[in-house]
């Protein structure tokens, strides 16, 4: 019995090492070459000299009543981009009457929002929905005899950064495709729903580490960088190239974003993953760094999280390998795809590893049959050191987005036991089981390996008003963005500003800002506020 337990321990530890080895390589690359991978970002001069491109925003919607229309309205209210250069194309279904009604009403009040009614009843796959939206865009371009410059992909629940479109426009002058980071938000929940907050936190942890550490490294080494499905923009000619070979999105693929970017990568097109921070004022009046990205809520209940991640795992690790020709790829290209595809096997290790670890600890103290103590010490010590290293790297990524307190909650909730890490691993393992079930026993009587329909995450409402208020750019944010004042000068003005006295008056009094420049920024801010009021009034009357 001890020999058997020892053999299982060795196999599990070996599997764990295989599962995590590439993460260790990426961590080393980030530590030793992070200055090379960290981008200087776009300068103020580059952003100001860019001629704003015409952008078509594609959104697929199924049962998004109360969400997608509010998202489009909020985006127009808050964005710092010429409104006549942005048009939304929202794909809805004829049998989704609530969503159809909301989008149609919005399109009546805002001619830059287009309601694209699918030819088929829903739900189909998201890729089929987006193909219908793109066909509508092509028809409109033909009617107008004018093509868009950029095609952007967003989700119905996105909180789009006010400067996201400016970055799309400027970056796509030099890149084929651009991906901005996705930032998971924490819902406000009562304390007794602590487990739900942990589930939500697993998304924040994984996206922070992947998008702030690993994706820039992948790009720096010339490896495949996938689309995240939202916060993703392409030059119009890139989409035309893909459309000339067939459907832009491979219908039936549950991760159409990953599949599309992989097909383009094989054709020589590259995704630029852009991580940039902007100085702004936080809710407490302090100057801080903010990542330019796309914020959204993710599931905070375990069944919903398992359902969503199963869809990702199924599409990326089970569909994509079948549709990708590996023979033409170089070794490093195969290895990076293995990194994406290995989860369908390695996630299952947790079902054996955690019970075995618990048994080994209890057996050591309760005189149960156990492996050689020296073997247990070496193996457990090695796994512990590797896990600690991974937790430290995750701590650094989370801290850079959410702060020290959140990073501590993510990695050191209980002594020597990172609860959020554990819950995340269990969710991924359960999602992998569900993905295998989807593969071997597809729903609705389809054959083995067939693709199920759009198994989307359910949402009942858009983000609350306080979240949108935190996104709004105030005068100080605008001054920092244009470089009119330094962070130190603005911080000093905020500290010394008496209550009720306008910030601009303090800046003029301190002689830190030219009056003409201040007048220009105040006018810009007031025009934006007036536009928001008009939109709100139209919405209220509707």
- Tallying the residues shown for the chain, one arrives at 542
Kind and range of the H or E run holding 330 = none
Q: pLDDT above 90 covers what percent of the chain? A: 55
- Mean pLDDT for 69-74 is 96
**449 token code pair:** 């390996």
pLDDT tens, position by position, 5-57: 778 888 888 888 888 889 999 999 998 877 766 656 888 888 888 999 999 99
Question: At residue 308, does pLDDT exceed 70?
Answer: yes
pLDDT tens, position by position, 244-281: 988 999 988 889 999 999 999 989 999 999 999 998 88
**206 token code pair:** 């994984």
Domain residue ranges of the chain, discontinuous segments joined by +? 54-192+206-301, 473-541
Neighbours of 444 (CB within 10 A): 7
158 and 180 in contact (C-beta within 8 Å)? no
Arithmetic mean of pLDDT over the chain: 88
Q: pLDDT above 70 covers what percent of the chain? A: 92
**pLDDT attached to residue 40:** 64
Residues 452, 434: Cα–Cα separation, whole Å:
12
Neighbours of 440 (CB within 10 A): 9
- The residues pairing with 290 across neighbouring beta strands, listed in sequence order, are 278
Residue 428 CB-half CA count within 13 A: 19
Residues 35, 262: Cα–Cα separation, whole Å:
27
Distances (CA, A) of 144 to 57, 112, 201, 245, 412: 17, 14, 46, 24, 58
Question: At residue 542, does pLDDT exceed 50?
Answer: no
pLDDT tens, position by position, 416-452: 578 899 999 999 999 999 999 998 887 654 555 555 6
**pLDDT attached to residue 38:** 62
Question: At residue 535, does pLDDT exceed 60?
Answer: no
Question: At residue 151, does pLDDT exceed 70?
Answer: yes
**pLDDT attached to residue 541:** 43
Kind and range of the H or E run holding 291 = strand 287-291
Residue 414 banded pLDDT, cuts 50, 70, 90? low
Domain 54-192+206-301's class? alpha beta
């Amino acid at each position: 019995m001890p020999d058997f337990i020892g053999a299982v321990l060795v196999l599990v530890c070996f599997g764990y090492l295989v599962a995590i080895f590439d993460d260790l390589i990426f961590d080393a690359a980030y530590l030793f070459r992070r200055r090379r991978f960290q981008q200087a970002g776009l300068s103020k001069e580059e952003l100001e000299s860019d001629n704003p491109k015409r952008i078509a925003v594609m959104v697929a919607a199924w049962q998004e009543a109360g969400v997608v229309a509010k998202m489009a309205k909020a985006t127009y209210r808050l964005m710092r981009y010429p409104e006549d250069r942005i048009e939304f194309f929202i794909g809805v279904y004829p049998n989704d009457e609530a969503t159809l009604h909301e989008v149609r009403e919005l399109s009546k009040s805002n001619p830059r929002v287009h309601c694209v009614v699918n030819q088929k009843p829903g739900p189909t796959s998201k890729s089929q929905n987006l193909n219908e939206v793109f066909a509508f865009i092509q028809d409109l371009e033909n009617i107008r005899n004018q093509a868009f410059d950029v095609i952007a992909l967003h989700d119905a629940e996105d909180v789009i950064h006010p400067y996201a479109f400016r970055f799309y426009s400027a970056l796509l002058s030099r890149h084929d495709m651009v991906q901005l980071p996705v930032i998971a938000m924490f819902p406000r929940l009562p304390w007794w729903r602590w487990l739900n907050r942990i589930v939500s936190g697993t998304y924040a942890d994984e996206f922070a580490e992947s998008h702030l550490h690993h994706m820039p490294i992948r790009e720096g080494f010339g490896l495949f960088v996938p689309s995240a499905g939202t916060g993703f923009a392409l030059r119009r000619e890139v989409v035309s190239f893909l459309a000339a070979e067939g459907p832009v999105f491979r219908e039936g693929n549950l991760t159409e974003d990953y599949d599309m970017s992989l097909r383009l990568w094989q054709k020589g097109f590259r995704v630029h993953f852009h991580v940039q921070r902007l100085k702004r004022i936080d809710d407490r009046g302090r100057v801080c760094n903010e990542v330019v990205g796309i914020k959204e809520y993710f599931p905070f209940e375990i069944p919903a999280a398992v359902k969503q991640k199963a869809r990702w795992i199924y599409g990326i690790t089970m569909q994509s390998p079948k549709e990708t020709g590996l023979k033409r790829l170089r070794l490093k290209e195969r290895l990076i795809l293995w990194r994406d595809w290995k989860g369908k096997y390695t996630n299952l290790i947790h079902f054996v590893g955690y019970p075995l670890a618990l048994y080994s600890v209890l057996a050591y103290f309760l005189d149960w049959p156990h492996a050689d103590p020296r073997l247990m010490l070496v193996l457990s010590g090695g796994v512990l050191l590797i896990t600690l290293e991974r937790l430290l790297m995750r701590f650094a990524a989370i801290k850079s987005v959410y702060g020290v307190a959140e990073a501590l909650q993510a990695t050191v909730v209980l002594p020597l036991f990172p609860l959020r890490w554990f819950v995340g691993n269990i969710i991924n393992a359960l999602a992998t089981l569900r993905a295998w079930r989807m593969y071997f026993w597809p729903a609705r009587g389809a054959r083995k390996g067939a693709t199920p329909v759009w198994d989307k995450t359910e949402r009942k409402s858009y983000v609350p008003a306080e979240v949108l208020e935190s996104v709004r750019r105030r005068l100080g944010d605008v001054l920092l963005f244009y470089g009119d004042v330094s962070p130190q000068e603005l911080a000093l003005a905020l500290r010394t500003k008496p209550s009720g006295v306008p910030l601009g008056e303090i800046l003029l009094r301190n002689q830190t800002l030219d009056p003409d420049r201040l007048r220009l920024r105040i006018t810009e801010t007031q025009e934006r506020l007036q536009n928001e009021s008009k939109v709100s009034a139209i919405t209220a009357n509707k």
